[in-house]
Structures are given as C-alpha cells and as structure tokens.
Amino acid sequence: MDYIDNLNIDASAKANIKHWLEGSYDEETKQAIRLMMDDPAELNESFYRSLEFGTGGLRGIMGVGTNRMNKYTVAMATQGLANYVKKCFPKASPIKAAISHDSRNHSREFAEITAHVLAANGFKVYLFDSMRPTPELSFAVRQLGCQTGVMLTASHNPKEYNGYKAYWDDGCQLVAPHDSNVIDEVMRIQRLEDVKMAGGESNIEMIGEAVDNLFLDRIEKNSLHPELIRKHHDLKIVYTPLHGTGITLIPKMLEKLGFSNVNVVKEQAVPDGNFPTTPSPNPEEKAAMKMAVDLAREIDADIVFASDPDADRVGVAVKRPDGEWMLLNGNQTFSVLAYYLLKEWKVGGRLAGNEYIVKTIVTSELPADIAKRAGVKVYDVLTGFKFIGDKIRQCEGSERFIMGGEESYGYMIGDFVRDKDAVAACSMIAEIAAWAREQGKTFFDVLVDLYREYGFYKEGLLSVVRKGKSGAEEIQQMMKDYRENPPAEIDGSRVVCLKDYKLKTSTDLLTGKSEPIDLPASNVLQFFTEAGEKVTVRPSGTEPKIKYYFGVKGDLCCKDCFDKTNAMLDEKIESIKKSMNLI
C-alpha cells in the first residue's frame, strides 16, 4: 500500500482507500479503485470524505468510493436507519418498511440492497416489483402500516446522480428530531462489517398492482366533477414522463378518470436512467418540455404535462389565444389548483369551517389570498415539502387538509400521500381543463380569470454566487447586515413588515409590534412593502450562494392586456433588484 501514501491526495482519502482495498469489498470494486489511481483528482473526490446523509437522506454522484452513491454507501446508510427505527419502535413486531425506486441507473440494485439490509435486521419489507413514483411509496408506507420507507431517487438531478430518501411512519420524509437522529446513527456506521447484509430474505414481500389499484382508487376520490370528465373525455392531453416512473401510473390514472385522448410522447415513454432525449429531466426547464410541446402543436392539444423521473413534480404548458404554448411556473399551477379546489369546494357545500391549505414561505402569496377570501386557513411552512407533511400531522384530527404546494412544481391534493404527487396533480389539472371547456374556456382563460379577480401576481428568483471560505463569510455578513439594518424602503415603497425566521419573529415596522413565528428557526428574512411586494432572502443550504425571491403584484383589466401586464411586472422585479444593488 506504499504507493497510496505517495499519491498527492488528502490523508482522509488515503485512509479510506486503504480500508476499501483491505476490507471485505468485492474484487470488482477494488479493481475500479486501482484503475482510478491514474486520476488522483477523481480518486480524492471519491474518497476524501463519506457521502453525507443529510436531513433528506443521501444524494450524490454514482461511483466507487466513500463519497459516492454505491451499494456499500447505501447499505451502510440503511443500517444506520434500521438502528434508529428499532430504537423508536421497540414494541412493533415486526417493524415494517416499504421500498420503491425510480428509473435511474442502479436504482433497482440500490432498492434491493436496502431491502436485504432491513430484512436482515428483522424488518418485514414490502419491496415494489419494479419502479414506482415517490408518492406511491409515501402512500404505501401509510397503507401497509409501515414504520419507515425508502425511495431510491435523485429527483430531477442529472443522470450521474442517484439518491436515497427516508420516510417515517406517516409517509412523510424525516423531520426533527428524527432527521438529525438518523444522521447520528448513520455516522456511527464506519465499517462494512457493521452492516447486516444477509439472512432475512424470507422477510421480503414483493408488492405491485394491488397497491397501485388502491392508490389510483384513492386519487379518483379527489375528483369534484367526474361528470364533466365524462362529457369532455376527448380533451387532447399530451404527457411525457421524461423517461421516468410517471409512465407506470399517470396515463393509467387519466384513463381511469375517463380521459380517452391521452397522447404520450413515445420517445420519452421508455424508462431510461440516461435520459437520452433531454439535457435535464427537470420539468421546470424549457428544454425538458420541448418534445411534449412540439407534439401538442402537431395535434392541436388542449394541455401538456411533464413529470420528473420519480413523478413527484409536474410541469404544465397551456395554449394561449394566439395559438402559442406557454409554460406555467410552479406558482401559477399551484394558484390555479387552489382557485379551482376552493371555488368548487365552496359551491359544493364542502367547506365546514375547519379546512386549511399549506404553502412554503417562498411561494407566491396568491394561493393564500384565494384561501383567505374563501374563509379557509393558510399555514406557511419552511422550504421543503416535508414541512407540509409535518403540518398535516400536527393538524390531524382537528382540521381538514385540502391541498399544499410550493413554487418548485410540487403539489399535494388530499392527505393520503405526504409528499409531492404528480399523479394526483396531473389528474386534477386535467379535470380543471375539462371544467374550463364546459364554460367555453381554456386553462389559460382560467389563469386570466384568477388574475383579474385577485390581481396579477408575478415572481422572480436571483441567486448570487460567492465561492470559497471568503464567499461563505460574505454571505453570512450580508445576512447579518440585512438583519441589523433592514431596508426602510424597496424600490420606493416603504417596508412595513419584517419576518425573521432565525429569530422567529414577525415585526410590524409601522407600530413596532412583534409576534412570534411558530416554525423551526431558519436563516431566512422576508421584507413586505406597502405596495404589496415581497422579498425573501436566504442562503442556500447546499451551494455557495444567497438566494433572493421576489414577489410583485399588478392589476389585470382584460385578457388582451396579459402580455403588457406581465412585461410591466418583469420590469418591476428588475427595478427592485436595482434598488437593492443586486444588478
């Protein structure tokens, strides 16, 4: 091993490499390490640390090494999870877990390893027989009475990545204190010899179609107007799963509801972890939506959907009056969903006075305004869908959840799933399109109606990168300055409210009165102006940048003024950036 000592890499990387070469790792892995010796930079990156199990689980580049997603890092993380779950549920006999995976390279292998480690630890394991969406995994945890669950996915990350998301017994991703406690247990697993890998094979049960049917049946109950779907069953829908898991359930769900004209983008219907037809499997990006929009133009479709690889997020494109297609952002889709659900719940006499919706603090205020006017409570939570799931748990038994959403294309309708759900979201969006057609309108017209009634809300995002140690210090200083010397005005409008999520206080700057914010502490600041604008400032938790979220509002007098008003609001956001010296 002397040749390793002579490599120009970190001491920690050398120690980890020696351990892997000397330990009980398979020969294929050891040979891959030897081949990496010609690339010290890559070798160092792969071994200089252990891949961190964060509050949402693991996520990283696939490959050999302690800092990579591979069968060994997955096995060790699973052992740590198993150790913690056993401490929390000592009376459960047996402890149960559900496991699913997406279409990414090695996802099935990682799912099977996860299943075998949990089974070897005495868990009863329900393993899906093939890839399934993230929301179905969340549903299965609850439906099968599991204490935990694992989804192997890296969401919309590039093809080189994979990930591991851990769930608790309510079907929600881990929240405090479980998230940090699991991290502590995972950190204690330092050697492969600490992992139970075999001996529990009989504890593994394959699941599939039966759970699919229960999940789809429950989504069907979300429908408010099945008669309109039957009447407008021939609505032209274009859908792309972007080579992911959505293909397993979304077309089936639309067909179950009664839609008979669903056109799947064939080139992107084949599950493929290399995502060969798109530079990124992210429905937020125009390039990912291109093939679906091209097909929509070709067949003169009514609406377009795209789900990401694990089918928890959905992108939407709608046809404008001029025949061109417009991509909706996450705030717009969330707002239309809230508009329809709350309007039809009210018309249908479903509102009893104890209903609520949930949104994240960086999401548009439009869904909140819609809910307040309908007499429905609104809860704000920190960024991250797990906090929406946690709020449902807090309110269970006393209040009725209608929906939740976030600006980054995630929506949840009903509480039978506790994570983002593209299957349910696509189903409801299609119903809204049918509802619009019944009125002689399009989905775009519904958005216009919404803006005319509540105001035209527009959001923007700016990320300011500051690299290295000095950059991190600069970001912290920027937050300190904003906190100690908040702007008195933004773009000529007086700042009337300051929300400091680190200090957990909301202050009316006109009266000086402060109220507590009942959320976990987080280094986030929000400024609200007299003109109704909102600016949110927060450091990124994973990248060397500070993020600014902007929200502005204007009046929309008619459909013909949409483009003019939209451009005016874009200019307003740019003016705010200039007033804050950000551009």
- Amino acid present at 257: L
Question: In 3-state terms, the chain is what percent helix, strand and coil (to 5)?
Answer: 40, 20, 35
In this structure, what are the phi and psi dihedrals at residue 28, rounded to the nearest 5 degrees?
-60, -40
Distance (Å, whole) CA 222 – CA 218: 7
Alpha helix segments (H runs only) across 23-65: 27-35, 40-47
Active site residue 202: no
Marked catalytic residue, from 50, 103, 155, 364: 155
CB atoms within 10 A of CB 525: 18
Of 257, 254, 197, 194, whose CA–CA distance to 221 is shortest?
Answer: 257
Distance (Å, whole) CA 177 – CA 428: 34
Distance (Å, whole) CA 501 – CA 523: 6
Q: Which residues contact 174 (CB under 8 A, 6 or more apart)?
A: 55, 56, 57, 166, 167, 168, 182, 386
Q: Which helix (H) or strand (E) holds 546?
A: strand 545-554
- Amino acid present at 506: S
Task: Fill in the DSSP letter of residue 123.
Answer: -
As a whole number of Å, the end-to-end CA separation of the chain is: 53
Check: CB of residue 537 under 8 Å from CB of residue 476: no
Write out the catalytic residue numbers. 155
